[in-house]
Amino acid sequence: MSRGPQKDDCMELKILPGIETPADLKKLPIDQLPDLAAEIRHAICQQIMKTGGHFAPNLGVVELTIALHYVFDFGHDRLLFDVGHQCYPHKLLTGRYPLLSKLRTSAGMAGFPEPRESAYDLFSVGHAGTAISTAVGMARGDTIKGEAFEPEKKPDGRRVVSLIGDASIVNGVAMEGLNNAGTLKRQFLVVLNDNGMSIAKPQGAVAQYLDRVRVNPAYLSVKRAARDALATVPGGSIIGEMYHRTSEMVKEAVAEDAWFEKFGLLTVGPIDGHDIRSLIDMLIEVKDFDRPMVLHVHTVKGKGYEYAEGDATTFHSPKPFNVEGCRVELKGSGRSFTAAFGEAMIDLMNRDESVVAATAAMPDGTGLSKVLPLFPDRAWDTGICESHAMDMMAGLAKTGRKPFFAVYSTFLQRAFDQVFQEVALQGLPVRLCLDRAGLVGGDGAVHHGFCDVSILRVFPDAVLMAAMDEPSLKASLEFMRSYDKGVSAVRYPRDDVSEQFADACPPFELGKARPLVEHESPDIAVLGYGVMAINAIDALEHLNGHSEYKVNVYDARFAKPVDIELIRSLLENNVPIVTVEDHSVTGGFGSSVIEAAADARLDTRLITRLGLPETWIYQGGRGEQLAEAGLDAASIARTIREVLDANGDAPVVEVRPAQPAGAKSR
């Protein structure tokens, strides 16, 4: 194991650059594969040191990915990924090594499986728990088409493999998938990459069961009933022979207490996920088994680098970093909204004992990592189960607690039904803290938080806010603490907080905007939702040659309810309004403004909306993505000029969603 990349930063890549397709991999003798694994780890490490990206998850699956591609033909067979951040080795083995140098940029390799890049990627996937269900669907579809593998009738048919890991097996969708997979009457392989980790330490009874499996010597004994049953199952003789041929390799691999067999899937393992030869031997044995099976593989997250193995949470998806001797230094930036939220929650919980908090497997990503140890009886990590977490929050609210659920905007979607049924319908005050709202940069389309406003504003008594900086974030949390009529939410981006308005922030008043720049008789008003208010302020500097324009800028604060009195005042005085949000233009803040104006019988033709267009925006820098969407300062300034110059001093009479600057339909 390498202490750090300084020991091999001059490693010459002799094998990896020659792998253009898995067919090239299959030409290599098995004894060269460990060298290939070392080169893959080195290439990933050297790149992520420069750009950041998912590090420890990919280091842990190198040998497993090599073995899968060595045995199967995924140009023909099906490979479905779960929590797609484990896909870097797969991409390097399927011809995308040249794209690695521009990882997570628009010109390079996406950080998640992406069918636009390669036919070897079947789904764009960044949410947990989905691979088994989509694999079941492909298995059934191939069977209907007569293309499924059958040992006797169709030996050249398609096999299906689902690779699930990083604790996503505990997700409810994964359980539903397992339940249905057990009814299949064909080959179906679930590879469980069990690394004892999620993004953080996995939570819950299933995770504890797998912990016991890894450490309990009794797991290594053979389940006699399962072995006897194999004799009556087609393909069972293959597994029976495996006991004799590979007993030393897996030390009798059918579990005595195989939990997955309750779903109807024969369970094999655990086996060493870093022993390439053993993995290949096992996969050769199981690939022709014509019933659903789980292959339990034990891996080490961060494998190959001591600092990543020792702190897999920090190195799950680190920023760029340096290694100097035994010291690893992550390259810093400014103060993040995530860090600001975590500290604000500590203050809130110190001041109010009724406040409780939870996250769904994202303690570091949401800022609750510092909260959990300080309040072990009032803060929880539920694991990857947003739906359960939301219902748990509802139960806590029912007992009079004040629950705050810290969740990525993109993952809130998984709990929409629970917000509806158990929270909003009951009138319960659950508070939602939506990190990663808007455009998220390198993680791309799978993680953009683009629809939280549109899905939450349908609920009666819901209050939806956005923070533009750290003081406004603190003020919004304080408002939420005292709001008891229903669900409330505040959104904020994966970005650093601005310090332009670092002075005291006025308290949030329900449905009231905050003026940032005001003129007595403005020519135009910009209502910025959240951090877009900062971009609107910055846009004023781009109005070169138009110093005569008097532009009012407001921190809108609320998407529900909007500041109808402000809107009325502006429109009745024929002041055009531009709304700006890093949310979908469909159903977002701008739509709320138009609907409120229409309900008040005001002239909505004076309103222009800027927001995320109805096209997918893929990986790249957040600044680059904002420019593509027409939401950077220069683009906002351009829209202000267009609105004011369209007919001289006449108001614009067009309602239009923003079109991104240089947008590409992809």
Which tens digits make up the pLDDT trace of 73-112? 999 999 999 988 899 999 999 999 999 999 988 888 998 8
Give pLDDT, residue 326: 59
Same domain, 448 and 486: yes
- Domain of 519, CATH number, reads 3.40.50.920
The answer to whether 71 and 288 have CB atoms below 8 angstroms apart is no
Same domain, 158 and 291: yes
Domain contains 498 = no
Give pLDDT, residue 126: 84
| Catalytic residue from among 386, 422, 478, 581 | 386
DSSP-based three-state secondary structure for 572: helix
- Domain of 486, CATH number, reads 3.40.50.970
Same domain, 287 and 384: no
158 is catalytic: no
| Catalytic residue from among 301, 474, 494, 609 | 301
Same domain, 98 and 176: yes
Same domain, 352 and 205: no
Domain contains 502 = no
Give pLDDT, residue 195: 83
Tens digit of pLDDT for each residue in 148-201?
Answer: 999 999 999 999 999 998 667 888 888 899 999 999 999 999 999 988 654 445
Report the run of H or E that residue 526 belongs to, with start and end. strand 524-528
Give pLDDT, residue 518: 94
pLDDT > 70: percent of the chain: 83
Report the run of H or E that residue 175 belongs to, with start and end. helix 172-181
Same domain, 220 and 117: yes
| Catalytic residue from among 291, 303, 414, 557 | 414
Domain contains 661 = no
* Residues 85-108 as b or e (16 or more Cβ within 10 Å = b): bbbbbbbbbbbbbebbeebbbbeb
Tens digit of pLDDT for each residue in 251-300?
Answer: 444 443 467 788 888 888 889 999 999 999 999 999 999 999 999 999 99
Same domain, 276 and 193: yes
Domain contains 24 = yes
Same domain, 476 and 521: no
* Residues 594-617 as b or e (16 or more Cβ within 10 Å = b): bebbeeeebebebbbbbbbbeebb
Total count of domains within the chain: 3
Rounded mean pLDDT, 399-415 = 96
414 is catalytic: yes
Same domain, 134 and 225: yes
Give pLDDT, residue 652: 38
Tell me which of 313 and 374 has the higher pLDDT. 374
Mean pLDDT, the chain, rounded, equals: 86
Domain contains 652 = no
Same domain, 67 and 186: yes
The length of the chain is 666
pLDDT class of 544 with cuts at 50, 70, 90:
low
Domain contains 112 = yes
Same domain, 155 and 13: yes
Domain contains 657 = no
| pLDDT over 90 at 354, yes or no | yes
- For 27, other C-beta atoms within 10 Å of its C-beta total 10
pTM, full prediction: 0.82
Give pLDDT, residue 293: 94
Q: Which of 4-13, 40-49, 459-468, 469-478 has the lowest mean pLDDT?
A: 4-13
**How far is the C-alpha of 501 from the C-alpha of 469, rounded, in Å?**
8
386 is catalytic: yes
The domain containing residue 414 runs over which residues? 337-491
Same domain, 264 and 348: no
Domain contains 457 = yes
